[in-house]
Amino acid sequence: MQPVFRYTNLDTPIHRLHPLVKLAYVALTLVLVMYPIRPTDMPVLLIWLGLSAILWTVARIELRRFATLFKILLGTFLFLIIIQGFTYRFGHTPLITIGHLRLWEADLGIITKEGVWFGIVLSIRVLAAASSLPLFVMTTSTSEIMTAMDKLRIPNTATFMFVSALSFTSLIFEMWGSIVEAQKLRAFDIDRMNIFQRAFKAYIPIITPLILLLFRKANDFQIAMETKGFGAPIKPTEIEVLTVRWSDYVWLAFIVGVFILCTVVKFF
């Protein structure tokens, strides 16, 4: 099984985009989602999500990858919507009433319309934040990431830890699948367990071998890297020559422009 957010070697304007511009998009996304949140923020978040959708589309990233991201986050969205539905302190329009349990300003027995809406706004904020880094990872090669990080004066070791973690993700996916299969063969079926069974007992037979295997693989990984001179006190050669083109400025202006628009809509 291949990891969903693996780098795909395509020739698209987003793949060709200077990594620092893509990093700027990631950074601005983080700034935007750090703004104090209000229920009226939906247009702002939708504008930014629209920008992400444009970037994902231009990068020709398959829809299934976005669908996978959405699926991964679905549990979080439901959690946020339900919790906010019950606990939002400015909620006053009941949607579903289960009972009455007042706690400070909220009635925990009622799901309110305003609470559900606020939960949806929070979910969109999470989605906007979570869609930026995969775009960067899926459209930027490891060598480009390393060169870009070097330009930002981030230490080589830290950069390599980041890109190694990306490599390890695919290994973890593969190992997880193999371990689940191996335990099924001994009549241990995690797929048929409910969430509580999984939480209390199911993961031990899966996670224990995974950790032990990861330790072993990490050792081999270290050998492979260090026997290739990794960690030498020498300035590494930049393999990717990153040149700035006019299109990079255009995209940067576009991204910053959308960011300013979002800020204006939010605060004014």
Partner 1 sequence: MDNHNLVNLQNVTFTYEGDVVALSNLNLTVKKGEFVVVLGANGAGKSTLCYLISGIVPHIYGGRRRGDVQVGDIDPWDEPLYNTAQRCGLLMQDPEVQLFMPTIKAELAFGPANLGIAREEIARRTKEALELVRMNGLEERNPRDLSGGQKQRTALAAVLTMKPKILILDEPTSQLDPLGRWEVGEAIEELKHKGDLAIIMTTHETEEILHLADQVLVLDRGQTVLQGTPAHVFSQVEELDKAGIKTPAMIRAQIKFFSFPNSSKNLPPPIKTSLTITELANEIQTAVMDGKLKVNPSITQAQPNPQSLSTPAEPILEARGLTVEFPGPPTVTALQNIQLTIRRGEFIGIIGQNGSGKSTLVKSFVGLLRPQKGEVLFKGQSIHNLSVGEIARRIGLVLQNPDYQLFTSSCRDEVRFGLQNLGIPDDEIPKLIDEALDLVGLKDEADLFPFRLSFGDRRKLAVAATIALNPEVLIMDEPTTAQDHRGRYQLADLALELHKEKGSTIIMITHDVDLIARYAQRLIVLHAGRILLDGPTAEVFVQIDELKKSFVIPPFATQLAMHLDSIGIPPTIMTLEQLFDYFSPLS
Closest distance to partner 1 from the beta carbon of 122 (Å): 32
Stretch that binds partner 1, among 36-44, 70-78, 124-132, 173-181 (CB under 8 A): 173-181
The answer to whether 222 contacts partner 1 (rule: CB under 8 A) is yes
CB 16 within 8 A of CB 248: no
**Residue 161 is a binding residue for partner 1 (CB under 8 A):** no
Contact between 63 and partner 1 (CB under 8 A)? no
Name which position in 193, 217, 261, 263 contacts partner 1 (CB under 8 A): 217
Q: Are 86 and 108 within 8 A, CB to CB?
A: yes
Helices (H), the chain: 13-16, 19-34, 42-58, 63-87, 113-130, 132-139, 142-151, 156-184, 195-197, 204-226, 246-267
- Angle of helix 19-34 relative to helix 42-58, nearest 10 degrees? 160
Residue 221 makes CB contacts below 8 A (sequence gap 6+) with 164, 168
- The angle subtended at Cα 171 by Cα 166 and Cα 174, nearest 5°, is 135
Tell me if 216 contacts partner 1 by CB under 8 A.
yes
Q: Quote the CA–CA distance of 124 and 190 in Å, as a whole number.
A: 31
Q: Is 162 in the site for partner 1 (CB under 8 A)?
A: no
Does residue 68 belong to the site contacting partner 1 (CB under 8 A)?
no
Of 44-52, 69-77, 100-108, 219-227, the window that binds partner 1 (rule: CB under 8 A) is: 219-227
Residue 89, classed as helix, strand or coil, is coil
Q: Quick one: which of 96, 225, 253, 265 contacts partner 1 (CB under 8 A)?
A: 225
CB of residue 22 vs partner 1: minimum separation in angstroms?
15
Identify which of residues 227 and 243 has a Cβ nearer to partner 1 in the complex: 227
CB of 3 to partner 1, least distance (A): 9
Give yes or no for residue 10 binding partner 1 (CB under 8 A): no
Residue with tokens 């979570």: 130
Assign 36 to helix, strand or coil. Answer: coil
198 in Cβ contact with 188 (< 8 Å)? no
Greatest alpha-carbon pair distance for the chain in Å reads 68
109 binds partner 1 (CB under 8 A): no
Q: Is 16 in the site for partner 1 (CB under 8 A)?
A: no
109 CB-contact burial (10 Å; exposed 0-12 / middle 13-18 / buried 19+) = middle
Site string for partner 1, 181-200 (x = CB under 8 A): xxxxxxxxx--x--------
Site for partner 1 contains 243 (CB under 8 A): no
The conformation of residue 233, written as its DSSP 8-state character, comes to S
Neighbours of 202 (CB within 10 A): 21
Residues 119-148 that bind partner 1 (CB under 8 A): 141-143
Among 42, 230, 254, 261, binds partner 1 (CB under 8 A): 230
Residues interacting with partner 1, by CB under 8 A? 2, 6-7, 9, 62, 141-143, 163-164, 167, 170-171, 175, 178-179, 181-189, 192, 204-205, 208-209, 212-213, 216-217, 219-232, 234-239, 241
